[in-house]
Amino acid sequence: MKRKVTKAVFPVAGLGTRFLPATKSVPKEVLTLVDRPLIQYAIDEARAAGITDFIFVTAKGKSALEDYFDHATDLEAKLEADGKHDLVEALRSSNMESGSIAYIRQHRALGLGHAVGCARRLIGDEPFAVILPDDVIAAEKPCLQQMVEAYAETGGSMVAAMEVSPARASSYGVLDIEDDMGSMVSVKGMVEKPKPGTAPSNLAVIGRYILAPTVLANLDQIVPSAGGELQLTDAIAMEIEQGRGVYGYRFRGERFDCGSKAGFLQATVAFGLAREELREEFQSYLHEIVAMRKAAQ
């Protein structure tokens, strides 16, 4: 059965160890890409896809993330009085409608599957989206919106998929493809972080999902697997065994792994260059620095 997707889960309870010491006090999702925290990009993408209910799975030490969505009414009034309308607009883009956000705690970081399972009572019996905010996707049409449109055709469960080199496949969940239909593939299996040389394809799962509510029941049955964690991919793979459709969607866009330092730096360059007001200065700085490095070699 297909239904409109209005709820999205944002699992943000991970420890973010790759960004220590910053993440000792600042949640990874609040780290800034140009001038907005990662979480803002995720929220904007969800809104564009028609999401109206936002469920955050948070943890101890994430209060800066929760505070980010409070309305800064005093600051707004001051900027308004000062005639700084562009800043008021920028500030308002982070305002959420009262009652549209829910925060649920994951008491121990037992894995992404466990984090999503923590939201089950708020999701109920309807399809839902999952967005990992540290996967940032630059796309003309936001990735989740592309997926919602594709999901309207297929139903089932859908994961965003991206080609990766065989050497990188063991860092991802990888799809075992049944039928390749171009932008969409039907899936007959999924393996989380396959051992080198054993990946069933070069199509890797990245952090956007539209899931059938039956995945929530499967989350109750999975056991720790790759990395000793409860893996969401294992619960999705069970859908296939139970005879329900699972699809991979080759989105149009560029994905940045902002959970890693190198990926975050690449995103900073790409998003910086994409901003008209920064482009000229930033581009000439990049040219300069590359030329200087070449000369020094």
Task: Report the b/e string of 24-60 with b at 16+ CB within 10 A.
Answer: eebbbbbbebeeebbbbbbbebbbebebebbbbbbbe
Among 5, 8, 16, 238, binds ligand UTP (CB under 6 A): 16
Question: What type of residue sits at position 126?
Answer: E
The reply to whether 194 sits near ligand UTP by the rule CB under 6 A is no
Both tokens of 285, joined, read 């700085």
Q: Which stretch binds ligand UTP (CB under 6 A): 9-17, 149-157, 208-216, 241-249?
A: 9-17
259 touches ligand UTP by CB under 6 A: yes
Q: Which is nearer to ligand UTP, 173 or 272 (CB)?
A: 173
Of all residues in this chain, which one has the CB nearest to ligand UTP in the complex? Answer: 14
d(CA 272, CA 274): 5
Per the CB < 8 A criterion, the answer to whether 258 and 38 are in contact is yes
Nearer to ligand UTP, 111 or 142 (CB): 111
Residue 18 vs 120, nearer CB to ligand UTP: 18
Residue from 57, 160, 191, 222 that binds ligand UTP (CB under 6 A)? 57
Q: Binding pattern to ligand UTP, positions 132-151, x when CB under 6 A?
A: x-x-----------------
Is it true that the peptide bond before 21 is cis, omega within 30 degrees of 0?
A: yes
Judge residue 150's burial from the number of C-beta atoms within 10 Å of its C-beta, 0-12 exposed, 13-18 middle, 19 or more buried. middle
Of 114 and 208, CB closest to ligand UTP: 114
Pick the binder of ligand UTP from 72, 88, 110, 226 (CB under 6 A). 110
In 3D space, the residue among 121, 93, 130 whose CA is nearest the CA of residue 12 turns out to be 130
User: In angstroms, what is the minimal distance from the CB of 223 to ligand UTP?
Assistant: 15
Residue 179 DSSP symbol: E
CB atoms within 10 A of CB 285: 12
Does 119 sit near ligand UTP (CB under 6 A)?
Answer: no
Q: Is 201 in the site for ligand UTP (CB under 6 A)?
A: no
If we measure between CA atoms, which residue out of 186, 135, 181 comes closest to residue 157? Answer: 186
User: Is residue 217 a contact residue for ligand UTP (CB under 6 A)?
Assistant: no
Query: Site residues (CB under 6 A) for ligand UTP?
Result: 11-18, 28, 57, 106, 109-112, 114-115, 132, 134, 259
